[in-house]
A and B are shown apart, each in its own frame.
Chain A
């Protein structure tokens, strides 16, 4: 169930796509669209839910910054009651992968939600983007231009530099792509029945051949796969062993921002923020007695390794945790590294498919038999 078309536009890619979305709203194909949009002072970009087609302006389908993982937005919107209006949402590929995990974790209901996944050449850290001031337009342009250059921009976040899934997968309804395209052209693909219906209602698209696009995607993902392996191997040697691991976290201020921004950590009340971890002096003094001293706050590594153990089989490597860390610890690379190895045991890859069962909510009787006997 896939097909691909081309949108030709003389107005610039983001503008051309904005017109396309406007028509979807005007023609009542969609009742609303959630899409990245510049703040009035052009200082930052947020996801904005648009209902009025006339208000659709200043949008960035290919936004160069990702303030939070939008899967979290969908979770908040649909967890208890599904949407009764037809809403489209523009997602980066890692946001789409988080959506897959959250659907399986029963945190998102996709009824009436239409998923548009874009190609992604990477996003820059929110700090860099908000401080870019005069360079902001240049940054936007540089990211757009980098789609068809052979190298990732050095400014992008670590998670993006090593991301090898930077294009729409068949889990999405609709794909919006630039890899392999000509100037002023965007690929529009559909991957599901829902997507096919939407795309068939889009005007002014021309037919396209899959092969050019497929080749471009393949070459990018092969190249990024290699970069990722090399990076993770090197990274592993920097964090392995208790000394390196504690030194990696030595400036951690225990703020739990990494957890708050993680789309997979959906628990309303995190175990590590429960009363279990509020100690009275008697407890602390007992511990301090044992070795003569006690670091405070306590349980720093317990939080990181414990959180890792809870959710790493679903970590999709979006790097939101690193972006949220106020002291610049690259939590995401660590979770990506450990997550990838843990997922391999179950032949699982987080975000890859709606059908593959979550490792932590299922089991096989005949597996891991080296444990227990």
Chain B
């Protein structure tokens, strides 16, 4: 039987919440797939959508943006703005029959280590089911 392919996930994680949750998950020894490459950002609102595009175009199987729950953003509205931008990006993907499910936004607070571990696990499972991202099929990007 073919060995199950480990997906690559790029995570843009807000340093005030999701990034801390990832640390918590680690120190509490919660199990989650090593497929995520976390990148700490100042706020989910500081993630330009071209970072997500770059990751996907370069062959990442999925991108997870982790931010503070509504009303909890340290810069007041970064998370709400990120949500709108991601909605636009997903809509572009849907219009062009690209796979918008490879882009995930989650609100995960610093204390939610378990939610972080579960999110990565679920996303990982979904992505391994999907197989490689379509962008990897073409070198002509």
Measured CB to CB, the residues of A under 8 A from B are 236, 239-243, 245-247, 250, 271-272, 287, 290-291, 293-295, 299-302, 305-306, 308-310, 312-313, 337-338, 341-342, 345-346, 359-360, 363-365, 367-368, 371-373
Q: Are B53 and A338 in contact (CB under 8 A)?
A: no
Contact among A293, A302, A310, A313 with B139 in the assembled complex (CB-CB below 8 Å): A293
On chain A, the residues within 8 Å of B97 by CB distance are: 240-241
Residue ID in chain B nearest A239 by CB atoms: B96
A373 to B106, CA, bound (A): 6
Q: Are A337 and B95 in contact (CB under 8 A)?
A: yes
The segment out of B29-37, B84-92, B120-128 that lies at the interface is B84-92
Q: Are B87 and A371 in contact (CB under 8 A)?
A: yes
Q: Are A305 and B138 in contact (CB under 8 A)?
A: no
A313 to B81, CA, bound (A): 14
Contacts A250-B140, A302-B53, A372-B67; A236 near B89 (Cβ below 8 A): no
Q: Are B95 and A371 in contact (CB under 8 A)?
A: no
A341 to B107, CA, bound (A): 25
Q: Are B67 and A338 in contact (CB under 8 A)?
A: no
Residues of B in contact (CB 8 Å), total 40
Q: Are A246 and B50 in contact (CB under 8 A)?
A: no
A241-B98, A245-B98, A302-B50 given; name 15 further pairs at CB < 8 Å.
A242-B137, A243-B137, A246-B141, A293-B139, A294-B139, A299-B54, A306-B50, A309-B50, A309-B53, A310-B49, A342-B92, A342-B95, A363-B83, A368-B87, A372-B70
Contacts A246-B138, A363-B83; A308 near B50 (Cβ below 8 A): no
* Main SS class of interface, B: helix
Contact among A338, A342, A368 with B83 in the assembled complex (CB-CB below 8 Å): A368
Q: Are A236 and B50 in contact (CB under 8 A)?
A: no
Subset of 5 A-B contacts with CB under 8 Å: A247-B140, A306-B49, A338-B91, A341-B95, A363-B81
Q: Does B111 contact A (CB under 8 A)?
A: no
On chain A, the residues within 8 Å of B139 by CB distance are: 291, 293-295
Residue ID in chain A nearest B94 by CB atoms: A341
On chain B, the residues within 8 Å of A241 by CB distance are: 96-98, 134
On chain B, the residues within 8 Å of A247 by CB distance are: 140
Contact among A287, A345, A373 with B88 in the assembled complex (CB-CB below 8 Å): A345
On chain A, the residues within 8 Å of B49 by CB distance are: 306, 309-310
On chain B, the residues within 8 Å of A291 by CB distance are: 139
Q: Which 5 A-B pairs have the closest CB atoms?
A: A363-B80, A306-B50, A240-B97, A309-B49, A242-B134
A373 to chain B, nearest CB (A): 7
Q: Are B84 and A368 in contact (CB under 8 A)?
A: yes
On chain A, the residues within 8 Å of B95 by CB distance are: 236, 240, 337-338, 341-342
Contacts A302-B50, A368-B84; A246 near B91 (Cβ below 8 A): no
